[in-house]
C-alpha cells in the first residue's frame, strides 16, 4: 500500500514564476491538506480539500491556490513566486474530514531564486 | 501568533537517558494533541497522540503527559537511542479540523 506521494521532489524557480506541486493521497483517503515548512520551523497549514472543495484555509495569500480531483489527488499552485516562498511543501492525507490521524508525504523542496 | 509553543529548540541526550520535550497552548478549542517525528528529507510521521480527557498515554518507550489545567503537554522518550535522533513536533487540532504545529525540537542522542 503506497503512502502519500508527492512530485516533484525538488524544484528551482525564479521570482515571479508560477509553480504546481502534486500530491496523491494514501489509498482510501479522501481529505488532503497542504503545509509549508520553512527551514527550522514547524509545518504551517495552507489549506485543506475534501470532496473537491477547499474546506479550510490558513493565513496564506491568494497567490496560493489548489485543486482536488475526483480521484482525491491534489495540486498546490503558487503564483508570482517570492524568495520567501522557498520551503518544503508537505501534503498530508486522512480518511474523512473529521479523522484526526493524518499521514504526510515526503514533501517537495522548492527553492526560489 | 504561535498557537503552540514548543521547547527546547534543541536537545542532546546520552544513550539510555530520558528525553523530554514540552509544549504549551492557549486555545481551549484544541481537542487532539499528536507528536510527530521527522527525519531529514522525510515528511513528519505520527508518533503518539493524546486527547485532553486523558492525563498520560504510553506507547513503548514514548509517553505523553497532559496537564489540561496548565494547557501543557510533554513527550518523554525513555531509554533514548541514537536512532531516535530526529526533529520532533508537537501539534494541536482544533474543532475546525485544522492542525497547528510547534516550532520543533532537534534531538541528538549521543552513543
Interval B79-102 mean pLDDT: 93
In tens, the pLDDT along B36-90 reads 999 998 899 999 999 989 999 999 999 999 999 999 999 999 999 999 999 999 9
Banded pLDDT at B8 (limits 50, 70, 90): very high
Pairing of strands B99-101, B86-94: antiparallel
Among A42, A97, A98, the residue with its CB nearest the CB of B101 is A42
pLDDT attached to residue A1: 63
Judge whether B43 is closer than 8 Å to chain A, CB to CB: yes
β-bridge mates for residue B24, sequence order: B5, B72
Mean pLDDT (chain A) is 95
Nearest to B43 among A42, A45, A90 (CB): A90
- Given a contact cutoff of 8 angstroms between Cβ atoms, the answer to whether A15 and A83 are in contact is yes
- Closest-CA distance, A64 to chain B, in angstroms, reads 17
pLDDT band at residue A101 using 50, 70 and 90 as cut-offs: confident
CB atoms inside a 10 Å sphere around CB A103: 18
Task: Assess whether pLDDT exceeds 80 at residue A76.
Answer: yes
How is residue B72 written as a grid cell?
A: 501543557
B10-34: pLDDT as tens digits: 999 999 999 999 999 988 889 899 9
Compute the nearest-CA separation of B42 from chain A (Å): 5
pLDDT at B17: 98
**Beta strand A87-94 pairing with A31-37:** antiparallel
DSSP state of A72: S
Q: What is the band of A29 on the pLDDT scale with cuts at 50, 70, 90?
A: very high
pLDDT band, very low/low/confident/very high, at B1 (cuts 50, 70, 90): low
Say if the Cβ atoms of B43 and A100 lie within 8 Å: no
Interface residue A59 vs chain B (CB under 8 A): no
Return the C-alpha cell found at B30. Answer: 484544541
Which whole number is the average pLDDT over A84-89?
A: 97
Query: Can you tell me the distance from the alpha carbon of B75 to that of B37, in angstroms, rounded to the nearest whole number?
Result: 11
Contacts of B61 (CB under 8 A, 6+ apart): B77, B78, B79, B80
What percent of chain A shows pLDDT beyond 70?
99
Instruction: State the Cα–Cα distance between residues A76 and A53, nearest whole angstrom.
Output: 13
The reported pLDDT for the residue numbered A98 is 76
Q: What is the pLDDT of residue B84?
A: 97
Q: What is the pLDDT of residues A55-70, one digit of tens each?
A: 999 999 999 999 999 9
Amino acid at each position: 500500500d503506497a503512502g502519500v506521494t508527492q512530485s516533484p521532489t525538488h524544484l528551482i524557480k525564479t521570482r515571479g514564476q508560477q509553480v504546481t506541486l502534486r500530491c496523491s493521497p494514501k489509498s482510501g483517503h479522501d481529505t488532503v491538506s497542504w503545509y509549508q515548512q520553512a527551514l527550522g520551523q514547524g509545518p504551517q497549514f495552507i489549506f485543506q480539500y475534501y470532496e473537491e472543495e477547499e474546506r479550510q484555509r490558513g493565513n496564506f495569500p491568494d497567490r496560493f491556490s489548489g485543486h482536488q480531483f475526483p480521484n482525491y489527488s491534489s495540486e498546490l499552485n503558487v503564483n508570482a513566486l517570492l524568495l520567501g516562498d522557498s520551503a518544503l511543501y508537505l501534503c498530508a492525507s486522512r480518511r474523512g474530514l473529521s479523522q484526526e490521524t493524518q499521514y504526510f508525504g515526503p514533501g517537495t523542496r522548492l527553492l526560489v531564486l | 501568533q504561535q498557537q503552540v509553543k514548543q521547547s527546547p529548540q534543541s536537545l542532546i541526550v546520552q544513550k539510555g537517558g530520558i528525553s523530554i520535550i514540552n509544549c504549551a497552548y492557549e486555545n481551549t478549542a484544541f481537542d487532539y494533541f499528536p507528536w510527530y517525528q521527522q527525519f531529514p528529507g522525510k515528511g513528519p510521521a505520527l508518533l503518539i497522540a493524546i486527547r485532553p480527557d486523558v492525563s498520560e498515554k504510553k506507547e513503548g518507550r514514548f509517553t505523553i503527559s497532559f496537564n489540561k489545567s496548565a494547557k501543557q503537554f510533554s513527550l518523554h522518550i525513555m531509554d533514548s537511542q541514537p536512532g531516535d535522533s530526529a526533529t520532533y513536533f508537537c501539534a494541536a487540532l482544533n474543532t475546525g479540523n485544522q492542525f497547528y504545529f510547534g516550532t520543533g525540537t532537534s534531538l541528538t542522542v549521543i552513543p
